[in-house]
Structure 1
Amino acid sequence: MDLYDFMKEGNPGKSQSQQPGIQQKMDPLPIEEFDHWKGSGKLQGKVALITGGDSGIGRAVAIAYAKEGAHVAISYLDEHDDAEYAKQRIEEEGGKCVLYPGDISDAAFCENLIQQVVKDFNTLDILVNNAARQDVQNDLTAITPEQFERTFRTNFFSFFYLTRAALPHLGKGNSIINTASINPYIGNPTLIDYTSTKGAIVAFTRSLAKGLASKGIRVNGVAPGPIWTPLIPATMQGDMLTNFGTQTPLGRPGQPVDLVGSYVLLASEEAAYMTGQFIHVNGGDYMSS
């Protein structure tokens, strides 16, 4: 399917009832890989843990990592069918894959997750903190304390929990990659709490990068613009959903496959001199002066 015409191929106004959304129910389905794209061993033998790796950006990255020779641990909430498909694709590319369902907003789960991944794979080389939630609200007063805390626990606390637990197992040449968003750079009045968590991730990434540089551990991030993932139909409806991403200079929403090059780069030795940086993939929606 052509990246520019894909929204014409389905019904982008078809919403879902709850988060984090099911990729298999999306119409049109996201584009997560190109059949013609072959890996070149950039991550040969590495072990990566990807949160939210069952669908969307996470799954596209997981498949790309497998194509580059990595083994992949996938953390996800409870979307078992999506996760099983991700596992199948990773194994088809020759990688080992283990699925770890559970709630990353819980500190104990995160601690246990890291320990289990290291036990199952004997090592951990790449941590991709990616999973997130969002709730569209038209103004600040509509955000309840419960929603605010839930968003921060999922989107930001989990990054802290997982990174803290992973650090004893990481060393020189290893990499942490955090998924932020375009929103803290431009502001979003309908996603205030979500945007705030993504701003916290930017600050966390840059601070951690300086703190870990002496150990040879690189910490970087990707700041996606509007990307067609299950989170979109699960949280938007009406014109917001139908017109999603069409405001960008490139005139379309991004696809998960648009992100994979950035995540592969940041995990590989080709980015050995990069730390504390964010790669912006947003269709031109944000251009800093």
Structure 2
Amino acid sequence: MDWDKLRVFHAVAEAGSFTHAGEALNLSQSAVSRQISALEDSLGVPLFHRHARGLILTEQGELLNHAARDIFAKLSMTQAMLSESKDAAKGPLKVTATAAFGSTWLTPRIGEFLALYPDIQLTLLITDTELDLGMREADVAIRVSPPRQPDLIQRHLMTFRSHLYAHRRYLDRKGEPQTVADLASHDLVTYPQELRAPFANTHWLRDLVTDPVARDRTVLQVNNLYAIFRAVESGLGVGSLPDYLVTGLNDIVRVLPDQSGSKVDAFFVYPEELRHSKRIAVFRDFLVKKVAESQF
């Protein structure tokens, strides 16, 4: 199979058109079309359904593109490893983190990291979806559960708990609960009970309220920890939040401080192939240092 034709095919499959692929490859539309036709002739199968609105991969095209994506991801990883400097950390680094941790704790510290390592081109992917590190959807993941994928290295990064928090505006309006029983008369912001939680015991606030009528009278249910944080920050009610979300925010008050959720461990995860990456090493060491400086 001709590598040049495979490269053109992969570009067309990702772009969805000869024109856009040609722009990416600096080739004319006709040159791209000829390469695809030649590849189809050599394989003896059609790779695209051609429509007026664009191109759609055939079943055979999907199979080939899956293999091509894997090949080019491996080549990209190899290129990064070969060009990795022994003396300085430089080059692209793609990091994924959960929406809550990435938005509130990680992002404000990125400026300091980039000041230390200006030759690293950092991309943050803030999502609660678990990206595939083996397919190079990201180089590093910060996760609140051990990795399920094989050939991944994990480093324990931090342990945190969740506590109950409310904004001072809310407490001025409704009063501060003194006992667990008092929660029955408060506005609660909770994670939906029927949904899979992002980490263990996310539903513990709702479970504290024993009165079924009061338990179902939550002011808001929302399936995102950062959204719960913003709701609490706006003065909407009492919510369960990881302590790292509210560090340094004096107007958000911990209530019923003796009550807490389970301990949750967060991990720094990356592929075995990047074990010797200088970029990953300096980013890992930076985060370990920042966690040690934080007070949760």
- TM interval, shorter chain, is under 0.3
More strand by share: 2
Q: TM-score, normalising length from structure 2?
A: 0.24
Structure number with greater Rg is: 2
**TM-score (structure 1 length as normaliser):** 0.24
